[in-house]
Amino acid sequence: MRVGYVSRDALRDAVVAVVVYRADNVTVCNAISSMDGVALELSAGRGAIEVVFEPLMLAPGEYTVAVGIYPSLDLADTHSVQHTAIWHRRHTFMVRQPEGVAVDLGVVRHPVRWRLAGRPSTVSTGSFEENA
C-alpha cells in the first residue's frame, strides 16, 4: 500500500497507522509504525510511505482502509486528540479466494507453529516437524 501525503511541516519520529476494517466495520488489523520499531522522518512537502502486508493474510471479502499520521502516539491515551491527519475518504478493496481453495479460511490466515504435545521442536511458521 502506498500512502501519499502533503505536509506544511516536517515531522521527526512520525507515527503512521494503517487500519483495515471488514465490510461490517470490525477492525481486522492495525499496522502502527512505532509498534513495529520504525521511526519515520517525514519531510515537509509531498511524500509517500509504503506499507507492505506480506504475506497478505486477509480472507476473501471487501475491506476498507483508513490512515492516520501522528507527530507522536501514546496508545494508552484515550482522551487527547493526537492525530495530525487522518485520511477520511473511504477506500475499499477486495481480496479474492485463492485459486484452488474451496474452504472458508477465516478472516485472517494467522501464522502458527505445530508440534506434537510433550515433544519440544523448532519449527517454522505454518509447518510441522516431528522430532524423533
Q: Which domains does the chain have, with CATH numbers?
A: 2-95 (2.70.50.60)
Q: Pick from 22, 20, 2, 7: which is nearest to 70 by CA?
A: 7
126 pLDDT higher than 80: no
Q: What are phi and psi of 110, to 5 degrees?
A: -75, 140
pLDDT digits (tens, 9 = 90+) for 48-77: 999 998 888 888 889 999 888 888 777 777
Judge if pTM exceeds 0.85.
Answer: no
* CB environment 40-70: b (16+ within 10 A), e (fewer): eebeeeeeebebeeeeebbeeeebebbbbbb
Please tell me the predicted confidence (pLDDT) of residue 46. Answer: 93
Q: What is the DSSP letter of 58?
A: B
Strand duo 85-95 + 61-70: pairing = antiparallel
